[in-house]
Amino acid sequence: MRQARRRSSNGLHMIRTDAQDVSDRRAATRRAQALRLGVAAYSEALSIQRRVHAAVAGGEMPDTLLLLEHPHVYTVGRRGREEDILLDEAGLARLGAEVHHTDRGGEATYHGPGQLVGYPIVNLRRMGMGPLKYVRALERALTGALEEMGVEAQSEGRPTGVWVAERKIAAIGVKVSRRVTTHGFALNVSTDLSYFDHVVACGMPGAEATSVSRELGRAVAVDEAAAIVAEKFGEVMGVVVEVRETGRGGGQAYRATG
């Protein structure tokens, strides 16, 4: 085992071993948690984000990645337009879908069953990142996760998000307040892609959506994708992620454990 000498503050030489160095590095490793919330309504998930944001910004909670699915919902970001939703109220009712205007960046998009939604609530100062670097890191985490699942995806030189050739497989839209993030990404795993026919997704008319299941030609579970995404998120962000299962009750489960 290698030994290294260093001089202490009192002038005495102290001997350190490789094992001690590794132990110190592990102690200094930044940690985060991933909370699996199951299925949560959009308004409920937004409320959870705000609570966690306040706790992370106040130093009361570690950086946190919320992983969940939403019931059918179209969301309109700060740059979105009402006409990006191509359905009237009757059409939305037939699909069992809601519309929510929200404070994230970006335009309109769809969320629903079979889609892994990730809301990272992280302190960018602690991460050593600005907003643009953070978005690029999210893209790398998602492309890395997709590669592990067998899907070749790209983000460089493309509009924000993750793409498989000309087909969009993941959308990203974030907000930063007090140097802490909210909102995040949506990865189509086994999503019913027909719901994208009723929205000008991300302000790109005619853009085609795809999913992991479609690209692989087999059914892929959201739970399978979530485990891989959490791991890749930790690798890219330089944190050790502890995954916590909070059940399938969404906000209620979080309140019971939070």
Active site residues: 202
Domain positions in the chain: 30-257
Q: What is the model's pLDDT at position 4? A: 45
Q: Which CATH class for the 30-257 domain?
A: alpha beta
Evaluate if pTM is beyond 0.95.
Answer: no
Residue 35 backbone zone (phi > 0: left; psi -120 to 50: alpha; other: beta):
beta
Confidence class for position 247, pLDDT limits 50, 70, 90: low
pLDDT score recorded for residue 233: 97
Mean pLDDT of 26-30: 57
Q: Is residue 159 very low, low, confident or very high in pLDDT (cuts 50, 70, 90)?
A: confident
